[in-house]
Amino acid sequence: MPTTLITNGTVVNADAAIRADVLVRDGRIVALGTGTDWTADHVVDATGKLVMPGGIDAHTHLEYPVDGFSTHTADDFHSGTVAAACGGTTTVIDFVKKEPDRTLYDTYLRRRDTAAAKAVVDVGLHAIVPPRAAQPDVLDDLRRLVGEGATSWKFFMAYPGQMVDDDELLDGFELARDLDVLPMVHAENGHMVAREVRRLVDSGRTAESFHMRAHGHDSEAEAVHRAVVLADSIGTPLYVVHVSSAAAADEISQARAAGSRVYGETCPQYLVVAYEDYADLGERAAAYVCSPPIRERSNQDGLWRMLATGALSTVATDHAGFCLHQPEDLPPQKLRSPGYFPKVPNGVPGVEDRLMVLWQSGVVSGVIDPCRFVDLVAARPAKLFGLFPRKGVVAVGADADLVIWDPAADHVITAAGSHTRTDYNIYEGMRVTGRPVHVFSRGEHLVDPDGLRTDTPGRGAFLTRAAPRLH
């Protein structure tokens, strides 16, 4: 494998931004230096640019079955990871949901193989813990999955067929603690949400925009509070996926201030898109339907403040794209049930947009600095999900997953200019200053200013992840 030298750039890590050349050999960073006389087969001049670790999107749903396996998301591991790469993300961590006729363990192995066969960047998988009723011996499978690199397990506190009760949470948390696994929760009080859906439907309020009404701030905040109490009682850390409500983020903030080891993830859609953006779109509001929902604009301030204070630890996408116009080769997508929100497939895309959107809304706007940006999108997810310092940092010994970021480059986000199969973009028309111009994955030059250089399915590796690092 040829060596690569990136010269004259500013290396931006979570901790520090320094001027250094970066030398890459055999897919790894072997040296950083200044005033060097190093040579390499391939030299990239990064003058005026930032050299950052490749983005890690710890929350995606590629070729992912939803609604009781009645449909699935539009992107497969190929198109999804191509989109990721083009956006500067060199690792995605997706989910495994037990299939009806297969154990969790078997589903995991199959999905691992699918991912490994198609992915263009590296991929890991979180295991979703099914209700005990669906697989009574699931704890045995979970135990085995740690050996397969699934060192993070997600529990649903809501949704029929996925929701587990507190006893199952406690059992799972205990096993996670014993095996040094990071438990994750989708934190909404399922009883509260289901009841609100019923009330809305019963009263005829089924238009797409009513989706948000069913998912109250209180139901999210309550679930966060309870999950923290349960995790603390067991003595395990906890990761809360897709925090959407500032009230829920505040529960995390309070718990952290009191000593709980709880980590919150939020997503760009909650930070920069608002209910007001889709409330009046009629059935096309389906494009914005995800859970928890994209909330009132007044909610955004609190989330930004929590990002700034550190109460929120990561920014992922929950990328789960569906099309508005039904493609022939896909099962029913966003508009399969116009006017009836409970049947709209939940999810929005974003894996390609995440870095640019957060850079624009966070860094350019002055709320966070480039180091914190790297922390949120790469270093912290790497740490929490057992990939650090292999990934998430530009450091000697790390995988050469690198993004050369041009902070001066202008760009307009559009669906047409994106690589996801989703046919719309919730950031359509957003102007950003700052974008990835080169992307390397384990030393391989995937993207350059002219675009994608390679999209070989399967060049991405499946990641067997280690234990979480909490600090």
Q: Which residues bind its own copies (CB under 8 A)?
A: 11, 13-20, 23, 25, 30-36, 165-167, 170-171, 189, 191-192, 194-195, 216, 218-219, 221-222, 225-226, 229-230, 232-233, 250, 253-254, 256-259, 305, 308-311, 368-369, 371-372, 379, 388-389, 393, 395-398, 471
Work out how close the CB of 225 gets to its own copies at its nearest, in angstroms, rounded to a whole number: 6
271 binds, among Zn ion, its own copies, none (CB under 5 to 8 A by kind): none
Distances (CA, A) of 363 to 298, 325, 331: 21, 34, 39
Nearer to its own copies, 193 or 287 (CB): 193
Q: Would you give the end-to-end CA distance of the chain in angstroms? A: 34
148 binds, among its own copies, Zn ion, none (CB under 5 to 8 A by kind): none
Nearer to its own copies, 2 or 147 (CB): 2
Q: Calculate the dihedral angle through the C-alpha atoms of 369, 373, 379, 385, rounding to the nearest 10 degrees.
A: 140
Cis ω before 237 (30° cut-off from 0): no
3-state secondary structure of 32: strand
16 binds, among its own copies, Zn ion, none (CB under 5 to 8 A by kind): its own copies
Work out how close the CB of 23 gets to its own copies at its nearest, in angstroms, rounded to a whole number: 7
Instruction: Read off the tokens for 44.
Output: 């990239």
3-state secondary structure of 376: helix
Nearer to Zn ion, 186 or 372 (CB): 186
Nearer to Zn ion, 9 or 268 (CB): 268
Separation CA 394–CA 399 (nearest Å): 8
Instruction: Read off the tokens for 120.
Output: 């263009």
Separation CA 53–CA 29 (nearest Å): 11
19 binds, among its own copies, Zn ion, none (CB under 5 to 8 A by kind): its own copies
Separation CA 290–CA 62 (nearest Å): 15
The answer to whether 246 and 271 have CB atoms below 8 angstroms apart is: no
Separation CA 238–CA 3 (nearest Å): 40
Q: Which of residues 167-226 bind Zn ion (CB under 5 A)?
A: 186
The angle formed by the CA atoms of residues 12, 244 and 265, to the nearest 5 degrees, is 35
Work out how close the CB of 92 gets to Zn ion at its nearest, in angstroms, rounded to a whole number: 12
Work out how close the CB of 131 gets to its own copies at its nearest, in angstroms, rounded to a whole number: 14
Which run of H or E residues covers position 8?
none
Nearer to Zn ion, 269 or 360 (CB): 269
Of 463, 471, 467, 466, give the one whose Cα is nearest residue 57.
463
219 binds, among its own copies, Zn ion, none (CB under 5 to 8 A by kind): its own copies
186 binds, among its own copies, Zn ion, none (CB under 5 to 8 A by kind): Zn ion
Q: What share of the chain is helix, strand, coil (3-state, %, to 5)?
A: 35, 25, 45
Work out how close the CB of 195 gets to its own copies at its nearest, in angstroms, rounded to a whole number: 5
Please tell me what DSSP assigns to residue 54.
P
Q: How many CB atoms lie within 10 A of CB 170?
A: 16
Separation CA 69–CA 363 (nearest Å): 39
165 binds, among its own copies, Zn ion, none (CB under 5 to 8 A by kind): its own copies
Query: Would you count residue 318 as binding Zn ion (CB under 5 A)?
Result: yes
Partner residues linked to 21 by β-bridges: 33
Instruction: Read off the tokens for 418.
Output: 């994106």
Work out how close the CB of 227 gets to Zn ion at its nearest, in angstroms, rounded to a whole number: 13
Work out how close the CB of 364 gets to Zn ion at its nearest, in angstroms, rounded to a whole number: 27
471 binds, among its own copies, Zn ion, none (CB under 5 to 8 A by kind): its own copies
Nearer to Zn ion, 72 or 459 (CB): 72
345-356 as b/e, with b when 16 or more CB fall inside 10 Å?
Answer: bbbbbbbbbbbb
Binding mask 128-157 for Zn ion (x = CB under 5 A): ------------------------------
Ranked by CB distance to Zn ion, the top (closest) residue is: 186
318 binds, among its own copies, Zn ion, none (CB under 5 to 8 A by kind): Zn ion
Nearer to Zn ion, 24 or 315 (CB): 315
Nearer to Zn ion, 5 or 223 (CB): 223
Q: By CB under 5 A, name the binding residues for Zn ion.
A: 186, 318
